[in-house]
Structure 1
Amino acid sequence: MKKTWTIVIAIVILLSILIIPVVSSYNNLVTLEQNVNIAESNIDTQLQRRSDLIPNLVNTVKGYASQEKDIFTDIANARSKLAGATNVSEQANADGELSNALSRLLVVVERYPDLKSNQNFQDLSVQLEGTENRIAIARQDYNTAATAYNTKRKSFPTNIVASIFGFQEKSLYKASEGAQDVPSVDFSS
């Protein structure tokens, strides 16, 4: 009887030694994955904030620069692409297009000095600038969370738990093509 209890206790200890690290690794991966999801959601929130501000900014500029229709069309198209983006990569590309269109809009603004002194335009510009900063921070936070998750997911022995339970690698938020190029601003036209 004493031998039976010894075997049972040994089995329980052995199972505990095996199960506790698996449960711990699983819970850690779940927590890190949720951090990535929250960070991605924060990017979406800031992109939505910018998307909500842009029509007000565009309408203010339209009153002064009605002949600049192409820029307004490009902004509307880029906003639509951003709204329809289904993953981080599509979001980054649409965000890049929107940023390019907005930079062209700012060139238009330079052509209309009265517009720059308009209080509504100034307020919207400050809000948009603040939003752009928030978006940049949200992207950094997402990449930090995704890197922590991916590192843990690839580390031994967590990589075994990750493969068993189907934890997938998270892609990093990357700038769109051409974003590293310095934009040219031409006031001559």
Structure 2
Amino acid sequence: MLTALIVIGVVAVVLVWGVAIYNGLVRVRALAEEGFSGINVQLRRRADLIPNLVSTVQGYATHERETLTQVIEHRTDATAAKGVAATAQADAAFTGMLGRLMAVAEAYPELKADANFRQLQEELSEIEEHLQSARRYYNATVRDLNTKIQSFPNVLIAGPMGFEQEEYYQDADPAIHAAPVVTFGAKA
């Protein structure tokens, strides 16, 4: 009788322990999904701002049609991409296109002085800051999830219950991993 109670007690403790681990894994997985959703919200905000920005630039830079067309054509790529890696790749490509758009704008002093353009530029800058924050939050939650999945004793429950490690949101641009080359010209 006593042995049966001990066995029942041990089984109950193991079950409670397993449920606690499972619930903790579910919680951090939900946080990672929430974090990725936050990235998508910011990408959508940026995509929604682009037509106004392009329209304003178009009024001043009519002969830059190819750059403006490419920006419009690719504005939804990052929001339509499926998965972390595809979203990061589309986001990086679109960020490069935005850089080209801003370079076009730099060639037109009257555009840079336009109040509407300056407001749109400020909004874009604010969105980019929120996007960076969302990327950091997502990566932090993925780190927590992956750590829990790999940690003992969680690893005993995570695999059999279908928990898998998530990908980090990474910039695929190899230039960010290299030190910039700085050269100073000879004095005249």
Cα distance in 2, alignment partners of residues 83 and 149 from structure 1: 24
Q: Quote the residue 1:88 is aligned against.
A: 84
TM-score, normalization: structure 1?
0.90
Whether the aligned pair in 2 keeps the contact of 1:96 and 1:179 (CA below 8 Å) is: no
Partner SS state of residue 160, structure 2: helix
Residue matched to 2:114: 118
4+ residue stretches of structure 1 with deviation over 3 A?
none
Q: How do residues 39-188 of structure 1 correspond to structure 2 at under 5 angstroms?
A: 39-178=35-174, 180=176
Alignment deviations for residues 26-72 of structure 1 (CA, whole Å, 9 cap, x no partner): 00000000000110000000000001011110101001101111211
Distance in 1 (CA, whole Å) between partners of 2:135 and 2:52 is 24
Deviation at 1:98, TM superposition (A): 0.7
User: Deviation at 1:73?
Assistant: 2.2
What whole-Å deviation, never above 9, does each CA across 1:69-90 have from its counterpart, x for those lacking one?
A: 1211221232232232001111
Deviation at 1:179, TM superposition (A): 5.0
CA-atom RMSD in angstroms? 1.3
**Structure 2, unaligned stretches of length 5 or more?**
181-188
Residue 20 of structure 1, CA deviation:
1.6
C-alpha change, 1:106 and 1:49, in structure 2 (3 Å) is same
Is the CA contact (8 Å cut-off) linking 2:46 and 2:127 kept in structure 1?
Answer: yes
Q: Deviations over 1:72-123 (max 9, x none)?
A: 1221232232232001111111111111111111111111111111111111
Alpha-carbon displacement from aligned partner over 1:9-32 (angstroms, at most 9, x marks no partner):
112211022112111110000000
* Runs of 5+ consecutive residues of structure 1 not aligned to the other structure: 183-189
Query: Does the aligned pair in 1 maintain the 2:47–2:76 contact within 8 Å?
Result: no
Relative to structure 1, the CA distance from residue 58 to residue 179 in structure 2 (aligned partners, 3 Å threshold; closer, same or farther) is: farther
Does 1:14 find its partner at 2:10?
yes
Q: How far apart are residue 143 of structure 1 and its match? A: 0.3
Q: 1:176, CA displacement in angstroms?
A: 2.1
> Match for 2:141: what amino acid?
A
Write the letter of the residue equivalent to 1:78.
Answer: H
Compared CA separation, residues 42 and 179, structure 1 to 2 (3 A): farther
Report the counterpart of residue 24 of structure 1 in structure 2.
20
Matched-pair contact (CA < 8 Å) for 1:79–1:94? no
Asked whether the equivalents of residues 54 and 72 of structure 2 are also in contact (C-alpha less than 8 Å), the reply is no
Q: TM-score, normalised by structure 2?
A: 0.90
